[in-house]
Amino acid sequence: MHLADPRFPPLLKGHPVKAPRQPFAHACRLAQTAKLGAGDVVWSRNAGRAQLAIVLEPEVALERALQMGPLMLVALGDSLGSLCPPKVAVQYRWPGSLLLNGSVAGNVRLAAARVPADTVPAWMVVGADLDIAAPRQDRQDFSATSLDEEAGPGITRTDLLQSLAAHFLTNLNAWQDDGFRAVNDRWFFRAEGREAPTTIMHGDALIECRVLGLDESAGLLVRTKDGKVRSLAFLDSVDLVGPAAPR
């Protein structure tokens, strides 16, 4: 099926790639060598998935720039909220999964130049990936789903990429003007584990907890079964690229 190319807001410049090339990995390679810079968007022509990666050049230290992960997830949720019928429940599973009616349909990833947490990275890439085409009817794994299966056919890759890019810029502008609080509140509104205890995978550990929100480094604040409040580091799920800093 031929689809028109998405039209991105003027501040963003699109760079299409064909499947099986992955936009996130491609954007990271080119950002690392300065062949792509702030505002460049790598997106996939694959009609069965909505995939894009936006290159950023942060002006804040890595520990604060990590907030771009949940910001992109909120933008993806906003896009789906505007495009999907009301029957579709959108939730966020920390650190980067998007759920439709309780099953995983997409994810957000973050990568950056490897620097100390209190240092500004030269580049960062934030990517989103959502399954549009319905899974095979004979599948065995019902923990995953797709946009077609939950919302019905009709929302295309182009629709979603255009909406996602616009919502990302809207949220980025709000973040620049008002800080992380507004993004955090909107993330928490759709967070899995907000209303009832859930199980979070962190590293190799399964943690039974109630989700309380995010800290300033996009870490997950939880209350565990013993009543203690913990912060689970978001940095553990970020791809840091480049040599480690000397000790």
Which residues constitute the domain of residue 98? 13-193
Residue 176 lies in a domain: yes
Residue 189 lies in a domain: yes
CATH number at residue 123: 3.30.930.10
Q: Are 240 and 119 in contact (CB under 8 A)?
A: no
Residue 225 lies in a domain: no
Residue 201 lies in a domain: no
Output the tens digit of pLDDT for each of the chain's 247 residues: 689 999 999 999 999 999 999 999 999 999 999 999 999 999 999 999 999 999 999 999 999 999 999 999 999 999 999 999 999 999 999 999 999 999 999 999 999 999 999 999 999 999 999 999 976 565 566 789 999 999 999 999 999 999 999 999 999 999 999 999 989 999 999 999 999 999 998 988 999 999 999 999 999 999 999 999 999 999 999 999 988 655 5
**Gap between the Cα atoms of 175 and 38, Å rounded:** 17
Q: Please state the pTM of the whole predicted model.
A: 0.95
**Gap between the Cα atoms of 22 and 27, Å rounded:** 9
**Gap between the Cα atoms of 42 and 3, Å rounded:** 17
Contacts with 20 (C-beta within 8 Å, 6 or more apart), sequence order: none
